[in-house]
C-alpha cells in the first residue's frame, strides 16, 4: 500500500495511539484496519525482542507501510533477519524438532513483511530473507505438528519458492520442488479445515496465527489456484468466528486457550483472534489498543485483495433474536454449542476423549459465558485444577489457574442453562473446583441465597450453584474465588436477559430473578453419589436436563438428555444455525441472510453469490 492511501488525520493520530489508554474504532473494515496498523506503528519491541521477528516484525512492517520512522524499521528488520541466520548456523540443535533460529513464527513474519513492504525493503535485506527461508527443509513435514505451525511453515515456504526461483533449501530441494511439496500439504490443510474444521478451533490466540498464514497466501500467491483455495478457506475460518461473535465478544469454546488471559477477553482485552475479527466485524464501541495482541492480529489489519464477504459480516452482527449455533470437529470428537442472546452468549462443548491423558485437556476451554458490558472482564468460566501435561502426569506439576481442563468433567447445555458434572478418582491429584467471579465492575451486584450465587451483570443476570458445599478463598487476578474440595460434584449456571425482571433498580431486579430461580427450578442430586453419578435439573424455563457421567473409553449412550430425549451429538452439523448449514465431511456450505445466498463447493473450490 502507498502512504497516499492513508488519511492525514490517521497519520496525525499515530502520536495519540502511543498512549497506553489509546482506543481503536472505525465505521468500516478499512477504517478499523487502518486504526490498528497506525497503532502498531507506535509500538516498539523490547530490547530483548528487537531481533525476534515474531515479536517485532509487525512494528517494522507498520512503519514501512506508513512511511514513518523507516530508517529505524529497516535497520532493525535487517538485523533481525541476520540474527536468525546466525542462530540457525550456530551448530546442531539440542532438540532436532526445534533447531536454533528456525522458528515458523519468525519465518512467516519475515515473509509476510517482505510481501507487504517489498517495494520499500532493500535488495540486501530481501536476499537475507530468501537465504533464511533456504535454511529450512521442505520435502516432508518435520517437527511440532500443530496446525498453526504447519500453515506458517509451509505457507511461507511456498511463497518464498514462488518469489525466488533460484531458491534451494537445506536439503537441496529447488524452488519447483519446494512449491510442489508445500503446495500439496497446504491443499490438504485447506480440505481438512473446510470439510472437518480443525484442531485449533476457537483459539483466542492461535486462530489469529492460522488466519494470518492463510491470508498471506490469499493475498500474495502467484498461483491462481492457491490464491483461490486460500481465499475460500479463509472465508470458512472467518465464518466460524462470525457464528461465535456477539458485539465484539468471541464467545465459543476453544481447543487451546493458554492462561486466564486467553479466556478473559473482551473489548478491553480482545486478544489476537478477536482483534483480527474485529477489523471485519466491528463492535458497538471502541476497543482498547493495548489488548489487541498486535504481533498476531496486525496481519489481518492490512488492506489488500482479501475481504470477508459482506454476508458473513451481517451474520456476525445479527443478534436481534436468540438462537443456538451448533458445530463439530469430527476428527476430535468435539461437539460445540453457543447460545446467543441480545446481551450475552453462553458456549460449551461435549467431547469424549478415550483417556484422561488426552492432550485436549491441557489447554482447552470447554465452556464460557460472556456478556455485553462497559466494564472489563465480562467473562464467567467454571474451572477445575488439572495437570500441566495430562499425558505426563508423573511430572506432578499443576497447570496455572484458569488454564486447561480437568479430564473427569462433562457439560450439558440447553440454551442459556449449563450443567457441569465431575467425578475425579481418589488417586488423581487434581480435583478441586474453583470459580472466578470478576470484581472489576462487570458484575454490578451479587446476592447469595439458598446455596445460589445470583449476579446482576448490568445487561443480563446469572445464577451459579455448586451442589457440594463451596467457600470463598483468597481473591485472584481481579476475581473473587469460590472453591469446592469435593471429588464428585455437580453445578448449575442459569442465565437470563434482564428484560423479564427489569424495573425498580438493581436490587429489585436481582431479587426478582433470585425469587424466580428458587421458585421455578428443581434440583435432583439424589444419584450424584452412585457409580457413575447422575444429575437432574429443571431450569428456569421448565426444560428438564439430565446428565450422567461417562467414564473414559465407554461409548456414549444418551448420557445427556433434554426433556427425556437423548442429545444426538453424532447428528450435529459441521456448522449450523438459522443462516449457515454444512454437514461434516460435506464439501457444500450454504450461507443465507435475508434473500442473499452464498454457496461454497470445497470440492470444486467455487463460491457463488446469488439472491432468491
Spatial CB neighbours of 25, under 8 Å, sequence gap ≥ 6: 31, 32, 35, 285, 286, 287
* Grid cell listed for 522: 428443581
Residue 115 has pLDDT above 90, yes or no: yes
280-329 residue pLDDT tens: 999 999 999 999 999 999 999 999 999 999 999 999 999 999 999 999 99
Architecture of domain 3-316: Alpha/alpha barrel (1.50)
Query: Helix, strand, coil shares of the chain as percentages rounded to 5?
Result: 35, 25, 40
DSSP 8-class letter at 36:
H
Q: What average pLDDT does the segment 535-564 reach?
A: 97
290-301 residue pLDDT tens: 999 999 999 999
**Gap between the Cα atoms of 293 and 209, Å rounded:** 11
**Gap between the Cα atoms of 273 and 249, Å rounded:** 11
- Provide the b/e sequence for 427-443 (b: ≥16 CB within 10 Å): ebebbbbbbbbbeeebb
* Grid cell listed for 379: 467473562
Strand arrangement, sheet containing 565-566: 522-524, 534-538, 544-548, 560-562, 565-566
96: pLDDT confidence band, cut at 50, 70 and 90?
A: low
Residue 14 has pLDDT above 60, yes or no: no
Q: What average pLDDT does the segment 44-61 reach?
A: 95
Task: Yes or no: say if 499 and 491 are a contact pair by the CB < 8 Å rule.
Answer: no
347-392 residue pLDDT tens: 999 999 999 999 999 999 999 999 999 999 999 999 999 999 999 9
Spatial CB neighbours of 27, under 8 Å, sequence gap ≥ 6: none
For residue 228, which of 214, 241, 238 has the smallest C-alpha distance? Answer: 214
235-272 residue pLDDT tens: 999 999 999 999 999 999 999 999 999 999 999 999 99
Paired strand residues for 537: 523, 545
pTM of the full predicted structure?
A: 0.95
Residue 93 has pLDDT above 90, yes or no: no
Q: Mean pLDDT over all residues of the chain?
A: 94
DSSP 8-class letter at 299:
G
* Grid cell listed for 53: 521477528
Per-residue model confidence (pLDDT) at position 150: 96
Q: What average pLDDT does the segment 395-405 reach?
A: 96
Domain boundaries in the chain? 3-316, 323-575
Amino acid at each position: 500500500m502507498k502512504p497516499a492511501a492513508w488519511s492525514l488525520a490517521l497519520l496525525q493520530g499515530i502520536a495519540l495511539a502511543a498512549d497506553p489508554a489509546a482506543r481503536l474504532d472505525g465505521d468500516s473494515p478499512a477504517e478499523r484496519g487502518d486504526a490498528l496498523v497506525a497503532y502498531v506503528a507506535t509500538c516498539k519491541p523490547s530490547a530483548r525482542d528487537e531481533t525476534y521477528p515474531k515479536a517485532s516484525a509487525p512494528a517494522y512492517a507498520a512503519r514501512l507501510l506508513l512511511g514513518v520512522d523507516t530508517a529505524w524499521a529497516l535497520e532493525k528488520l535487517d538485523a533481525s533477519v541476520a540474527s536468525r541466520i546466525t542462530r540457525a548456523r550456530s551448530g546442531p540443535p539440542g532438540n532436532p524438532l526445534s533447531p536454533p533460529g528456525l522458528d515458523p513464527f519468525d519465518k512467516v513474519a519475515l515473509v509476510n513483511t517482505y510481501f507487504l513492504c517489498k517495494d520499500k525493503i532493500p535488495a540486501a535485506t530481501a536476499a537475507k530473507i530468501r537465504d533464511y527461508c533456504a535454511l529450512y527443509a521442505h520435502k516432508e513435514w518435520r517437527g511440532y505438528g500443530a496446525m498453526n505451525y504447519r500453515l506458517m511453515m509451509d505457507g511461507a515456504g511456498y511463497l518464498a519458492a514462488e518469489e525466488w526461483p533460484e531458491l534451494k533449501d537445506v536439503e537441496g530441494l529447488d524452488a519447483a520442488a519446494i512449491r510442489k511439496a508445500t503446495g500439496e500439504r497446504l491443499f490438504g490443510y485447506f480440505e481438512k479445515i473446510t470439510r472437518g474444521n480443525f484442531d485449533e478451533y476457537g483459539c483466542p490466540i492461535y486462530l489469529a496465527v492460522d488466519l494470518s498464514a492463510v491470508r498471506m497466501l490469499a493475498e500474495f500467491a502467484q498461483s491462481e489456484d492457491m490464491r483461490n483455495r486460500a481465499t475460500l478457506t479463509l472465508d470458512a475460518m472467518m465464518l466460524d468466528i462470525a457464528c461465535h461473535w456477539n458485539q465484539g465478544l468471541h464467545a465459543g469454546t476453544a481447543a487451546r486457550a493458554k492462561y486466564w488471559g486467553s479466556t478473559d477477553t473482551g473489548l478491553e482485552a480482545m486478544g489476537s483472534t478477536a482483534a483480527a475479527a474485529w477489523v471485519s466485524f466491528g463492535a458497538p464501541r471502541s476497543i482498547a489498543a493495548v489488548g489487541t495482541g498486535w504481533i498476531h492480529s496486525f496481519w489481518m489489519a492490512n488492506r489488500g485483495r482479501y475481504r470477508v464477504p459482506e454476508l458473513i459480516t451481517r451474520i456476525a452482527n445479527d443478534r436481534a433474536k436468540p438462537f443456538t449455533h451448533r458445530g463439530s470437529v469430527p476428527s476430535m470428537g468435539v461437539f460445540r454449542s453457543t447460545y446467543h442472546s441480545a446481551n450475552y452468549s453462553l458456549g460449551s462443548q461435549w467431547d469424549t476423549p478415550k483417556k484422561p491423558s488426552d492432550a485436549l485437556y491441557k489447554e482447552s476451554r470447554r465452556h464460557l459465558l460472556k456478556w455485553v458490558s462497559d466494564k472489563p472482564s465480562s467473562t464467567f468460566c467454571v474451572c477445575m485444577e488439572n495437570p500441566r501435561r495430562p499425558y505426563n502426569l508423573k511430572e506432578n506439576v499443576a497447570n496455572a489457574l484458569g488454564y486447561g481442563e480437568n479430564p473427569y468433567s462433562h457439560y450439558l447445555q440447553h440454551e442459556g442453562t449449563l450443567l457441569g458434572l465431575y467425578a475425579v478418582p481418589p488417586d488423581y491429584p487434581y480435583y478441586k473446583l474453583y470459580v472466578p467471579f470478576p470484581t472489576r465492575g462487570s458484575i454490578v451486584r451479587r446476592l447469595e441465597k439458598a446455596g445460589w450465587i445470583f449476579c446482576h451483570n448490568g445487561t443480563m443476570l446469572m445464577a451459579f450453584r455448586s451442589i457440594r458445599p463451596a467457600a470463598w478463598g483468597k481473591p485472584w487476578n481481579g476475581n473473587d474465588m469460590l472453591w469446592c474440595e469435593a471429588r464428585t460434584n455437580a453445578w448449575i449456571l442459569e442465565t437470563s436477559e434482564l428484560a423479564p425482571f427489569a424495573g425498580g433498580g438493581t436490587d429489585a431486579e436481582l431479587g426478582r430473578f433470585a425469587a424466580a430461580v428458587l421458585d421455578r427450578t428443581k434440583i435432583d442430586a439424589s444419584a450424584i453419589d452412585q457409580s457413575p453419578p447422575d444429575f437432574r435439573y429443571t431450569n428456569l424455563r421448565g426444560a428438564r436436563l439430565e446428565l450422567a457421567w461417562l467414564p473414559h473409553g465407554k461409548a456414549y449412550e444418551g448420557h445427556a438428555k433434554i426433556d427425556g430425549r437423548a442429545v444426538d451429538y453424532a447428528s450435529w452439523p459441521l456448522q449450523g444455525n438459522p443462516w449457515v448449514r454444512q454437514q461434516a465431511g460435506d464439501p457444500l456450505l450454504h450461507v443465507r441472510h435475508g434473500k442473499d445466498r452464498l454457496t461454497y463447493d470445497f470440492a470444486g473450490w467455487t463460491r457463488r453469490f446469488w439472491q432468491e
